[in-house]
C-alpha cells in the first residue's frame, strides 16, 4: 500500500500512495490533493451509475443529475464536469437542509453524496435519512459516509440537547445546549471536524444502526464498501467510516 503507485480516479493523474497520520483524509494524490475518502466516493458513484469504476475526469454525462452536501471542493470540481452536479450547503446558496428539504429538491436528482455530514445534523437523526430519500428520484443512489464502527449502538454525545451554540469561553470551546424541557446543559471536550470551533461531532454511529436507519427511510440495496481498489489508490482505513451505498 504505502509507496505503491496508482491512478487518481478523480483527476486521472498518476500518484504515489504516501499518507501521513490521517490515512483516510490526507491528500494522497500529488496533483489534485484527493484523499482516500474522496476517491472512495468517486469509486462508489461511477461503479453504481456506470456499472464499472472509472476515472471521473474522463466522463461527460450531463443527463445524470446529482447533488452533494458540502462536498470537498476538489471532488465537487470534477463532479461538476462529469455530471449535472451541484454542491449544496446548510448556510449558503444553493441552500439545502437535508433534514427538511424544500420542494425544489424533492425527487430532483439521480444521486446524492453525503460525506461526513449526518454526524453533525440535529436530533432526531432519522430526519436526515428521510430527507436523503426524498431528494432522490425513484431508483436514485445515495453515497454516504459517516464516522461509524461495529459498536452495538450509536453514541449520541448530547442526547438531551435539541438546540445548541458553540462558545469560545476563556480559551475553551463549550457547547451550550437547551433541552426540550427548556433546561440548559454545558459540555466540554468537544470533537470538531475541520479544526477547533468548526463543525462539532454530535454522534458516532453504529454501522448496523446506519443500515437500519437507511431501511426505515425507504432505501434498499444497501452495501458497505469494504473493498480496496489498489489501481485507484483506494486502501480503506480499518473499518471506520467506510462508504455505504443505497438505492431509493
Kindly state the helix (H) or strand (E) to which residue 212 belongs, with its residue range. helix 207-217
Site for Zn ion contains 32 (CB under 5 A): yes
Nearer to Zn ion, 8 or 244 (CB): 8
Contact stretch for Zn ion (CB under 5 A) within 1-9, 131-139, 169-177, 224-232: 1-9
Closest to 71 measured CA to CA, from 48, 54, 50, 94: 94
Nearer to Zn ion, 29 or 136 (CB): 29
From 6, 17, 29, 39, residue interacting with Zn ion (rule: CB under 5 A): 29
Site for Zn ion contains 56 (CB under 5 A): no
CB of 77 vs Zn ion, minimal distance in Å = 11
Nearer to Zn ion, 78 or 105 (CB): 78
Asked whether 187 and 174 are in contact (CB, 8 A), the reply is yes
Closest to 156 measured CA to CA, from 195, 126, 196, 194: 126
CA 46, 51, 53, 59: dihedral to nearest 10 degrees?
-50
CB of 34 vs Zn ion, minimal distance in Å = 5
| Nearby residues of 247 by Cβ (< 8 Å), 6 or more positions away | 139, 140, 141, 142, 219, 220, 221
Q: x/- string (CB under 5 A) for Zn ion, residues 8-27?
A: x-xx----------------
- The phi, psi pair for 168, rounded to 5°, reads -95, 100
CB of 204 vs Zn ion, minimal distance in Å = 29
- The phi, psi pair for 79, rounded to 5°, reads -65, -35
Nearer to Zn ion, 73 or 153 (CB): 73
Site for Zn ion contains 34 (CB under 5 A): yes
Nearer to Zn ion, 40 or 206 (CB): 40
Task: Determine the Cα–Cα distance for residues 40 and 24; give it in Å rounded to an integer.
Answer: 10
Kindly state the number of chain residues that form the binding site for Zn ion, as judged by CB under 5 A: 7
Task: Determine the Cα–Cα distance for residues 236 and 86; give it in Å rounded to an integer.
Answer: 27
CB of 143 vs Zn ion, minimal distance in Å = 18
Nearer to Zn ion, 12 or 177 (CB): 12
Nearer to Zn ion, 15 or 99 (CB): 15
Asked whether 26 and 67 are in contact (CB, 8 A), the reply is no
For helices 36-49 and 73-82, give the axis angle rounded to 10 degrees.
20
From 31, 102, 160, 198, residue interacting with Zn ion (rule: CB under 5 A): 31
**Grid cell listed for 198:** 468548526
CB of 8 vs Zn ion, minimal distance in Å = 3
Rule CB under 5 A: which residues touch Zn ion?
8, 10-11, 29, 31-32, 34
Amino acid at each position: 500500500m504505502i509507496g505503491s503507485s496508482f491512478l487518481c480516479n478523480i483527476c486521472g493523474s498518476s500518484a504515489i500512495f504516501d499518507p501521513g497520520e490521517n490515512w483516510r483524509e490526507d491528500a494522497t494524490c500529488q496533483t489534485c490533493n484527493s484523499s482516500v475518502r474522496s476517491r472512495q466516493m468517486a469509486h462508489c458513484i461511477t461503479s453504481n451509475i456506470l456499472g464499472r469504476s472509472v476515472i471521473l475526469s474522463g466522463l461527460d454525462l450531463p443527463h445524470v443529475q446529482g447533488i452533494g452536501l458540502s462536498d470537498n471542493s476538489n471532488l465537487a470540481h470534477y463532479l461538476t464536469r462529469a455530471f449535472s452536479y451541484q454542491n449544496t450547503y446548510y448556510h449558503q446558496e444553493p441552500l439545502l437542509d437535508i433534514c427538511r428539504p424544500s420542494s425544489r429538491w424533492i425527487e430532483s436528482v439521480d444521486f446524492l453524496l453525503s460525506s461526513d455530514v449526518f454526524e453533525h445534523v440535529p436530533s432526531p437523526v432519522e430526519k436526515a435519512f428521510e430527507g436523503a430519500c426524498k431528494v432522490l428520484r425513484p431508483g436514485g443512489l445515495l453515497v454516504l459516509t459517516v464516522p461509524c464502527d461495529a459498536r452495538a449502538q450509536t453514541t449520541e454525545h448530547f442526547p438531551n440537547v435539541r438546540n445548541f451554540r458553540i462558545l469560545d469561553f476563556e480559551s475553551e470551546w463549550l457547547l451550550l445546549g437547551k433541552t426540550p424541557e427548556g433546561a440548559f446543559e454545558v459540555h466540554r471536550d468537544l470533537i470538531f471536524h475541520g479544526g477547533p470551533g468548526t463543525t462539532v461531532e454530535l454522534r458516532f454511529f453504529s454501522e448496523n444502526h446506519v443500515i437500519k436507519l437507511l431501511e426505515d427511510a425507504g432505501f434498499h440495496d444497501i452495501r458497505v464498501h469494504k473493498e480496496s481498489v489498489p489501481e485507484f489508490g483506494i486502501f480503506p482505513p480499518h473499518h471506520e467510516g467506510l462508504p455505504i451505498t443505497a438505492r431509493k
